[in-house]
Amino acid sequence: MPNQNLLIQNANIIDGTGAAARKGSLLIDGERIQAVGHAAETAAARLDNVPRFDASGLSVMPGLIDGHVHCTFDDAAGHDELFYHRRPGMAAITAVRNIRHMLTAGVTGFFDADSLFDLGVDLKEAVQSGVIEGPRMAVGGYALMTSVGGAAGRLMPDTGTMAYARMVRGKDEIVAEVRRQIKIGCDWIKVHVTGSFAHRRSEGEFVTFTVEELRTICDLAHDFGIPVAGHCRGAKAIKVACEAGFDQIIHATQMDEPALEALLKHKAFIVPALTFQANLMEFGDAIHASPVMQDIFRKEIAGSAKMFYKAFKAGVPMVCGTESGFSVTPYGDWHYREMEVFIRHLGLTPLEAISCGTRSGALALRMKDQVGTLEAGRLADLIVVDGDPSRDITVLGRRDKLRMVMLGGKSIDLTRVEPERKPMAEWRTHDFGRILTQSIVQQARGGTPVGGNESH
């Protein structure tokens, strides 16, 4: 049952608007925030026996909104897993666990960009109707792709569906698929505007739709009030997508001046989703990632940081998305991380980064002015943490520092222990780990060659 009333007192309030943290109180009435600061104390004084929560030494802030998640991928280590190892039933069941895991990590809302077997809508409705517990969700269905494919190149078929994608051939199939997705209840249409060929990797990602096709998607979706999100890496892709009417640009790592102008002119927002690269770059050694790969990602972040900062300062809303769903961005662990990347690599202040991870995230959730800030009248989606995220953002990644997660005025049980998870048959592709060459063994043994200990 939601709390009727609750007064959170003596808290360090970070309201998500970018304003400086301040000491004070917050009054919750049912599913909403009734008042913040002095007004909360005054309003509470007029009520009988309002339950009080003493938050001395703690911070209260809006719940995290993760603007880029794949909740049905179950920490996939690569395309192989997504394409050939997942089954619809098991993908849905594991997603239920992972969705709750995100909630208990402080995520009160997320955008599921695309999903295996089109499961997003069902998961969202299961949450909405109380069948399962989870954050607020906005969902895409299958990502639209042409036969050129996205990041998986020739592994993608020319027609039909594969994993999280539907190949569309020409206008008729585009129109049919967009209408189908709108009918089943998708909140966004997700399009792989760019894709790459493995055999032409050095040329970067190509725009794989014609401008006319991109316009068809946007016009049709917008007729039904549905926005469109596009995976776009290159500058040209960002520009043509904005001009075609895209509302959300994912990645945008090669933005240039004309692309930035197009973003501003057409009022699209961006979701850099750099956590994937940042995790591999900084922590990849712990999982024996290749230094070459780490270097590629290091360059991608360094090379895009200046333009992201410029876009942010120019007024392009920037949303935090963590790409949770892959083995380098597992659910529950890294939802604060994009904010840290924005601070450390792009140069945002902690308060600016927090507003990207809360207030701006509401854009991806399609709940602008309803969630994402602690203001009177907003839904009471908030977290209480031991520490001050406006000084040290990493406290948001510490489960032991999380004191409360509240969703629509309802406090979430953070004490429930999930059953221990064991490997599932045929679910993972990395059973044996890295390729076990003799030189790796030799390295691990401090230079002793294989068989080198034996005396002959």
Residue with Cβ nearer Zn ion (15 or 323):
323
Residue with Cβ nearer Zn ion (73 or 312):
73
Residue with Cβ nearer Zn ion (29 or 323):
323
Report how far apart, in Å, the C-alpha atoms of 153 and of each of 84, 197, 222, 338 are: 15, 5, 29, 27
Residue nearest to Zn ion (CB): 323
What is the footprint of Zn ion within residues 119-148 (CB under 5 A)? none
* Nearest distance from C-beta of residue 251 to Zn ion, angstroms: 8
Looking at 196-204, 316-324, 344-352, 389-397, which segment touches Zn ion (CB under 5 A)?
316-324
* Nearest distance from C-beta of residue 231 to Zn ion, angstroms: 7
The mark string for 143-182 relative to Zn ion (x by CB under 5 A, - otherwise) is ----------------------------------------
* Nearest distance from C-beta of residue 101 to Zn ion, angstroms: 18
CB atoms within 10 A of CB 180: 14
Please tell me the distance from the alpha carbon of residue 319 to that of residue 69, in angstroms, as a whole number. 12
* Nearest distance from C-beta of residue 276 to Zn ion, angstroms: 8
Number of residues that bind Zn ion (CB under 5 A): 1
Q: What angle do CA 58, 1, 359 make, to 5 degrees?
A: 50
Residue with Cβ nearer Zn ion (16 or 141):
141
Please tell me the distance from the alpha carbon of residue 370 to that of residue 362, in angstroms, as a whole number. 8
Residue with Cβ nearer Zn ion (177 or 323):
323
Please check whether residue 271 is in contact with residue 67, taking contact to mean a CB–CB distance below 8 angstroms.
yes
Please tell me the distance from the alpha carbon of residue 377 to that of residue 32, in angstroms, as a whole number. 6
Please check whether residue 122 is in contact with residue 92, taking contact to mean a CB–CB distance below 8 angstroms.
yes
Backbone φ and ψ for 105, nearest 5 degrees, come out as: -95, 5
What is the footprint of Zn ion within residues 358-417 (CB under 5 A)? none
* Nearest distance from C-beta of residue 221 to Zn ion, angstroms: 19
User: In terms of DSSP H, where are the helices of 46-185?
Assistant: 79-80, 88-103, 120-128, 170-184
Please tell me the distance from the alpha carbon of residue 214 to that of residue 174, in angstroms, as a whole number. 9
* Nearest distance from C-beta of residue 69 to Zn ion, angstroms: 8
* Nearest distance from C-beta of residue 184 to Zn ion, angstroms: 21
* Nearest distance from C-beta of residue 454 to Zn ion, angstroms: 49
Q: Which two tokens stand for residue 22?
A: 């301040």
Residue with Cβ nearer Zn ion (205 or 323):
323
Q: What is the CA radius of gyration of the chain?
A: 23
Residue with Cβ nearer Zn ion (213 or 323):
323
- SS3 breakdown of the chain: % helix, strand, coil, rounded to 5? 40, 20, 40
* Nearest distance from C-beta of residue 70 to Zn ion, angstroms: 6
Q: Within 13 A of 190's CA, how many CA atoms are on the CB side?
A: 26
* Nearest distance from C-beta of residue 82 to Zn ion, angstroms: 11
Residue with Cβ nearer Zn ion (276 or 308):
276
Please check whether residue 252 is in contact with residue 238, taking contact to mean a CB–CB distance below 8 angstroms.
yes
The mark string for 271-310 relative to Zn ion (x by CB under 5 A, - otherwise) is ----------------------------------------
Closest CA relative to residue 141, chosen from 175, 105, 173, 111: 111
* Nearest distance from C-beta of residue 363 to Zn ion, angstroms: 17
What is the footprint of Zn ion within residues 318-347 (CB under 5 A)? 323
Report how far apart, in Å, the C-alpha atoms of 444 and of each of 377, 438, 449 are: 59, 10, 10
Residue with Cβ nearer Zn ion (151 or 440):
151
Residue with Cβ nearer Zn ion (60 or 232):
232
Please tell me the distance from the alpha carbon of residue 115 to that of residue 111, in angstroms, as a whole number. 11
Please tell me the distance from the alpha carbon of residue 357 to that of residue 218, in angstroms, as a whole number. 26
Residue with Cβ nearer Zn ion (323 or 352):
323
Please check whether residue 360 is in contact with residue 372, taking contact to mean a CB–CB distance below 8 angstroms.
yes
Residues that bind Zn ion (CB under 5 A): 323
